[in-house]
Amino acid sequence: MPAFDYAPAPESRDLANLKPSYRPFIGGEFVDGGGEPLKSVNPATEEVLAEVGTADANDLDAAVRAARTAFEKTWGPMPGSERAKYLFRIARLVQERSRELAVLETLDNGKPITESRDSDLPLVAAHFFYHAGWADKLDYAGYGPGPKPLGVAGQIIPWNFPLLMLAWKIAPALATGNTVVLKPAETTPLTALVFADICRQAGLPAGVVNIVPGAGDLGAKLVSHPGVDKIAFTGSTEVGKLIQREVAGTPKRLTLELGGKAANVVFDDAPLDQAVEGIVNGIFFNQGHVCCAGSRLLVQESVADELLEKLRHRISTLRLGDPLDKNTDVGAINSREQLDKIRELAESGEAEGAQRWTSPCPVPDRGFFFAPTVFSGVHQSMRIAREEIFGPVLSVLTFRTPDEAVAKANNTPYGLSAGIWSEKGSRILWMANRLRAGVVWANTFNRFDPAAPFGGYQESGFGREGGRTGLEGYLDV
């Protein structure tokens, strides 16, 4: 039961400045794409938000040509100190238009407004500010004097953090002197096209950023396009593997940021109330649509019952519903396909013998919603312990010794992130050194900073985004 009753506090959807239609952005202009238009849907209500023009093969050629021309004529030769000014301008415009972007993101994606407003948008601006700072200092980044950009970057992003993933891709590419053709996800193209308008507002030279909405086949065409020098992809491991096969044997550079099945490890000396907050954030932030979500809770057996009781109590206070309501903690699942996938995996958990507990929160009749769910008694062989559910579903396993915790945490084909909860610094360092994960959080979870490199091992991909290391993916070094 919720601890308090809250009066509705909806953010105004008018702030999104929603248009009936949006168009691809190529060579500095919004153009009529030759592809079949798609309809972007509000996952919280299932209403159509807008029609979006998509790019066909000819449009893609035009976008790659525009990016090449900009790379050779304007952006590539421009001194870093000048490029920095554009990036600063974009960062400031993102801040100025952040309410509009936050509401639009929430409408298109289903995430709570408090998350788009307080997490996504500040991080988007921070990424542009941070990389603006690098643009004139590349000589001192440790890659030798005058590191060269790669050329035209083809970038493909998913639907879970539409604008933030765009920022992670575009900011470093531009700071290092590359130009960009970016394909947003089919279900969340709107904020990318408002970002295109921000590029125009910032006076960014034509062709430096091109946004081509479309489905997966357009993404595949971008990957195989001979005019592209680098592919940066965030999305599923399955598609990442296809892309790696396609790029193999070509001179194209590739970075892949793929799925995860992170272990959040709680030792018996951990501050349990604090750990509960971190576990909740780790799996219910953004409805669990997070590649680094702490989707496997590994808890030391001696405190498992106590922790689970605290956890269920805390989860039952989470409010699920209208993502535009400022009181909402858990919003909508991004699409019916994703909802079906979550349901199917949750059913497999029950069928394989795990104990299911679901928050008693009310669930709206309309829209795509899934109540926060915890599975206990999970074994490592179960699908819910192995596969990325990408939803608000936590799988709880137990361990007795630190060695067992390491073995179980690493028993995954992924390796993106992990969390450790303990009051002993020595144990945290011991454990962090043994975890095969790109990011390890200690006594916290889901902390992001543009200065901190992010990326994975094994089937979570390769290459890093953010920080000095993230520049490497866009430089010929």
Catalytic residues: 257, 291
Stretch that binds ligand NDP, among 68-76, 94-102, 127-135, 152-160 (CB under 6 A): 152-160
State the sign of the Cα–Cα–Cα–Cα dihedral 432, 298, 416, 162: negative
Quick one: 126 or 290, whose CB is closer to ligand NDP? 290
Could you give the 3-state DSSP secondary structure of residue 356? strand
Quick one: 74 or 224, whose CB is closer to ligand NDP? 224
- Which residue blocks in 7-79 are alpha helix, DSSP H? 57-70
* Least separation in angstroms between CB 94 and ligand NDP: 21
Given candidates 219, 282, 294, 455, which one binds ligand NDP under the rule CB under 6 A? 219
3-state helix vs strand vs coil in the chain, percent to 5: 45, 15, 40
- Which residue blocks in 268-332 are alpha helix, DSSP H? 272-284, 301-315
Q: Is 183 in the site for ligand NDP (CB under 6 A)?
A: yes
Stretch that binds ligand NDP, among 39-47, 215-223, 304-312, 417-425 (CB under 6 A): 215-223
Two tokens at 75?
Answer: 């952006």
Q: Is 170 in the site for ligand NDP (CB under 6 A)?
A: no
* Least separation in angstroms between CB 216 and ligand NDP: 3
Q: Is 159 in the site for ligand NDP (CB under 6 A)?
A: yes
Two tokens at 409?
Answer: 């945490």
Report the residue closest to ligand NDP, judged by CB.
219
Q: What are residue 443's phi and psi, to 5 degrees?
A: 55, 30
Q: Is 208 in the site for ligand NDP (CB under 6 A)?
A: no
Given candidates 27, 34, 37, 216, which one binds ligand NDP under the rule CB under 6 A? 216
* Least separation in angstroms between CB 352 and ligand NDP: 19
Q: Is 291 in the site for ligand NDP (CB under 6 A)?
A: yes
Q: Is 110 in the site for ligand NDP (CB under 6 A)?
A: no
Residue entry with tokens 């009781």: 309
* Least separation in angstroms between CB 389 and ligand NDP: 7
How far is the C-alpha of 222 from the C-alpha of 56, rounded, in Å? 11
Q: Is 300 in the site for ligand NDP (CB under 6 A)?
A: no
Closest to 227 in 3D by CA, of 149, 176, 151, 169: 151
* Least separation in angstroms between CB 185 and ligand NDP: 4
Given candidates 153, 175, 185, 345, which one binds ligand NDP under the rule CB under 6 A? 185
CA quadruple 44, 47, 48, 50: dihedral, nearest 10: -70
Q: Is 41 in the site for ligand NDP (CB under 6 A)?
A: no
Stretch that binds ligand NDP, among 1-9, 169-177, 229-237, 280-288 (CB under 6 A): 229-237
- Contact of 201 with 93, CB cutoff 8 Å: yes
How far is the C-alpha of 412 from the C-alpha of 385, rounded, in Å? 9
Stretch that binds ligand NDP, among 99-107, 217-225, 373-381, 430-438 (CB under 6 A): 217-225
Phi-psi region of 21 (alpha: psi -120 to 50; beta: other; left: phi over 0): beta
Residue entry with tokens 């542009």: 128
Which one-letter amino acid corresponds to residue 158? P
Q: Is 459 in the site for ligand NDP (CB under 6 A)?
A: no
Quick one: 177 or 240, whose CB is closer to ligand NDP? 240
Which one-letter amino acid corresponds to residue 440? V
Quick one: 322 or 465, whose CB is closer to ligand NDP? 465
Q: Is 155 in the site for ligand NDP (CB under 6 A)?
A: no
CB atoms < 10 A from the CB of 20, how many?
A: 8
How far is the C-alpha of 434 from the C-alpha of 440, rounded, in Å? 10
Which 388-447 residues touch ligand NDP, going by CB under 6 A? 388, 390
Given candidates 338, 359, 412, 446, which one binds ligand NDP under the rule CB under 6 A? 338
Closest to 418 in 3D by CA, of 401, 396, 443: 443
Quick one: 216 or 402, whose CB is closer to ligand NDP? 216
98-109 and 162-175 helices, crossing angle to 10°: 130
Q: What are residue 57's phi and psi, to 5 degrees?
A: -60, -35
Q: Is 258 in the site for ligand NDP (CB under 6 A)?
A: yes
Per CB under 6 A, residues contacting ligand NDP are 156-160, 183, 185-186, 215-216, 219-220, 223, 234-236, 239, 242-243, 258-259, 291, 338, 341, 388, 390
